[in-house]
Structure 1
Amino acid sequence: MSLNSYGLLKGRAVAKRREERSGSSPHYQIHLVDDAGTDYRIAVNVLSKLAPSELLFIADEDFRHPLLDALPNASGWTPLPSTPGGVSLDFIRGNLFDRADMRLLPPSADGPDNDLADVFDHYVDRAIATPSVQVYAFGERWGPEQGKPDKIFGFSPGNGVHDIHMNQGNSGTFTGDDGVFQDGGILFHFVDDGRWVAVFLAFQSQAWHTDDATGHTLVGGTQGAPAGSGSTGSGAPSPATSPATSPVGEGDHRVRIVGALVNPVGPAPEAETVTLINTTPASIELAGWQLADQQKHRGPVPGGTLAPGATISFGMPTGVQLGNRGGILTLLDEHGLKVDGVAYTADEARNEGWTVVF
């Protein structure tokens, strides 16, 4: 299973409403209007129904990513395929941010600038006051609900987008929402400033290693593991009934991608290279490790042992490509699990012969 109707809503913010913690599932509500005058409501979860209840968030006030150049120009709702290479969000595979930078905040609290609602107020208030600001909301569509007014803002018919958060690695009854390239989020384009702000949310109960096909939590095994080794044959996780079937460890950033020559001097095909560094105090065996590009084409990393603090530079594996108009690059270990990931824009790749440093 996955979200029923994933896509992107683009429009102008005209109103907001904060829901306090008294409800079982409070939301931050945004009233959006597209260029055709159609009303929508963006319902943003600010509290989890599962413990621990506070959400993880990141607000990147200078968001730069190749997907920005591919966003649709059309206002209103745009359905999106849950596939790599486009603008569909995936917190794990899309290299949108470093999850170590996510922070916890309560949904609401006394005082200024100390809760999630305050974070959204900071950007939404400016968006409402400045008509040129464009808001992009990724999530699941509901409506239009003919003959039924919106329960928050009163416009009719009811219509909007929810699931504005990570939508994979769920637990319990929410595993039915799992999928890849269908995560939620909000982008604010401050056109007059030439600046993008991105806000991404995740529940603490969600896992950060998920199956590449189903988005289910990987348990005790590897990508595509057969039944009995921590993953069912269908890609769904096995019941976590023992340490052998507990979620896999998160060895992120043991080795990091620190640079890539994405636009070498000379005509295509170009001799692109990548540089890795071992950040740990122990040697790491790279046999079986891989690199994946924006289209999720994979190729092997040269085998051998990488000493503590050592770097290695090598040519891109056959089939893995770094485009000159922006792209992403992901490092996977011998189990197919993400260790590190980076993204670069067309501006960063413009100058021939210069290495992009991450």
Structure 2
Amino acid sequence: MPLRDYGVWKATPTSFTVERADKDPDSPHGYLGFKDGVSSKKLESAINVKSVSSDSRLVYWLIQDFKHPLTAKLKSLSPGFHRISNDQRDIALDILRSNVVKVQDGSVVPHDLPGDKNDIVDFIQPFFDNAIKKKATVYIYGEQYSGKDGLHDVHMNQGSDGRFKSSNGTYQDGSVIVEFADGHWEAFFIAFASQTAETDGNGQPKGPSLGDVLEKKSQPGGGNDKPDDDDNKPGDGGEAPSRPSDAVVAIIAALVNPDGPDGGENPEIVYVVNNGLSSVALKGWTIENHMGNSFAIPDSSILKVQGDKEGFNVKGVPLSNKGGSIILKNAEKQVVDSVSYTKAQASQSGALVYFR
């Protein structure tokens, strides 16, 4: 195992800050403060939010209903840092081998772009803010600092080339897994787009990069969003229409279960993004649910550039907490994009459901 002092730290998160491009354009990090009730030191974990390779993008997997045998092992741990050896496969983490993610479900994002929900900071910040707000328990995987006051390498630690090749290994990946008081678990896994989607028995790169694999998936005919089994199908109306793979404007996220009682002042919100190279005027466009309720996007709404996003308070279009679908139509009433979400995804109040 190339990483020294690899392990997992069980703790309570207390703060999270992240560096935007104006703070550190080259090698920015997020900093997760935490306490474990054991150490008297100020504890902090550094989380990479940009690669220093030629491809600076990251790949992330955000799982808001994480179910895996690993959780039982983690729950049994006492607070504090627990060193893990390579042969402890029941608790050691390997993103490519431990069946914690499907590689093809990852999303490739840059570090920092103007606007919302288009870079890694926009996704990682609310994940940790929610964990802190809910006083959750975090399990941070990575390499312990020599000063025993935190962790780094909280990302995939295999499939790298060049100067980072010496750090490659299997069953030594980093991540953050979160246990909430209501019994559900969430997880955030990060890798670098330049790392490969497959590795050999020593964790050395093999085959195409994660960035190449996921970009190929996003091309027409490269993949689909059909649920794998009945447990993942949307409720209250069944399947959503098939998702166009070449949508210029797409649904990127939705707040389907706002904090507070249903029908209260907190709105349900749907976020859309411009994936094209030109400005898109949304006059006459609508957002619908699977029951046929329709929200008219304001005529003045324009997504001016690629990556431009806007969130819409979809009054009159209830998004069921039992699962459902969201459909985006253009002025000609053609389906531009459609997404579905499950009851499990909608069960966490105040948490966004991400579709990209």
Matched residue, 1:53: 56
Q: CA deviation at 1:204?
A: 1.3
Letter in 1 for 2:89: G
CA deviations 1:287-310 (Å, max 9, x no partner) are xxxxxxxxxxxxxxxxxxxxxxxx
* Gaps in structure 2 of 5+ consecutive residues: 209-215, 217-222, 230-356
Matched residue, 2:234: none
Which of 147, 153, 170 matches 1:144? Answer: 147
Determine helix, strand or coil for the equivalent of 2:61: strand
Distance 1:78 1:66 in 2: 18
Distance 1:37 1:217 in 2: 37
Matches within 5 A, 1:98-113: 98-113=102-117
Distance 2:203 2:5 in 1: 16
Shift in CA distance, 29/64, structure 1 to aligned 2, threshold 3 Å: same
Q: CA deviation at 1:119?
A: 1.5
Matched residue, 2:173: 183
Residue 63, structure 1, aligned to residue 66, structure 2 = yes
Distance 1:209 1:129 in 2: 36
Residue 29, structure 1, aligned to residue 31, structure 2 = yes
Q: TM-score, normalised by structure 1?
A: 0.55
Residue 206, structure 1, aligned to residue 208, structure 2 = no
Distance 2:87 2:205 in 1: 19
Q: CA deviation at 1:96?
A: 1.0
Q: TM-score, normalised by structure 2?
A: 0.55
Matched residue, 1:320: none
* Gaps in structure 1 of 5+ consecutive residues: 146-158, 221-249, 260-358
Letter in 1 for 2:86: S
Matched residue, 1:245: none
Letter in 2 for 1:26: P
Q: CA deviation at 1:42?
A: 1.1
Distance 2:109 2:205 in 1: 24
Determine helix, strand or coil for the equivalent of 1:144: coil
Q: CA deviation at 1:13?
A: 1.0
Distance 2:207 2:109 in 1: 28
CA RMSD, aligned part only? 2.7
Q: CA deviation at 1:208?
A: 2.3
Letter in 1 for 2:129: D
Of the structure 1 ranges 66-75 and 171-180, higher mean CA displacement relative to structure 2 is found in 66-75
Q: CA deviation at 1:211?
A: 1.8
Distance 1:37 1:177 in 2: 28
CA deviations 1:154-183 (Å, max 9, x no partner) are xxxxx2101111111110010110011001
Letter in 2 for 1:196: W
Residue 195, structure 1, aligned to residue 184, structure 2 = yes
Matches within 5 A, 1:279-358: none
Matched residue, 1:20: 20
Residue 90, structure 1, aligned to residue 94, structure 2 = yes
Q: CA deviation at 1:196?
A: 0.7
CA deviations 1:164-220 (Å, max 9, x no partner) are 1111111001011001100111111112x21111111111111122221x2112479
Q: CA deviation at 1:75?
A: 0.7
Distance 1:218 1:103 in 2: 20
Residue 44, structure 1, aligned to residue 47, structure 2 = yes
Letter in 2 for 1:103: S
Letter in 2 for 1:75: P
Determine helix, strand or coil for the equivalent of 1:209: strand
Shift in CA distance, 219/105, structure 1 to aligned 2, threshold 3 Å: closer
Matched residue, 1:154: none
Which of 158, 183, 187 matches 1:168? Answer: 158
Aligned 8 A contact 1:185 1:201 in 2: yes
Q: CA deviation at 1:84?
A: 5.4
Q: CA deviation at 1:10?
A: 1.2
Distance 1:219 1:107 in 2: 25
How many equivalent residue pairs? 211
Letter in 2 for 1:59: L
Distance 2:66 2:93 in 1: 14
Distance 2:64 2:160 in 1: 28
CA deviations 1:253-294 (Å, max 9, x no partner) are 9xxxx99xxxxxxxxxxxxxxxxxxxxxxxxxxxxxxxxxxx
Q: CA deviation at 1:77?
A: 0.6
Distance 1:164 1:37 in 2: 20
Which of 58, 77, 82 matches 2:81? Answer: 77
Which of 204, 212, 219 matches 1:216? Answer: 204
Aligned 8 A contact 2:142 2:174 in 1: yes
Distance 1:127 1:9 in 2: 15
Distance 1:8 1:17 in 2: 21
Distance 2:4 2:38 in 1: 25
Residue 2, structure 1, aligned to residue 2, structure 2 = yes
Matched residue, 2:345: none
Aligned 8 A contact 1:123 1:188 in 2: no
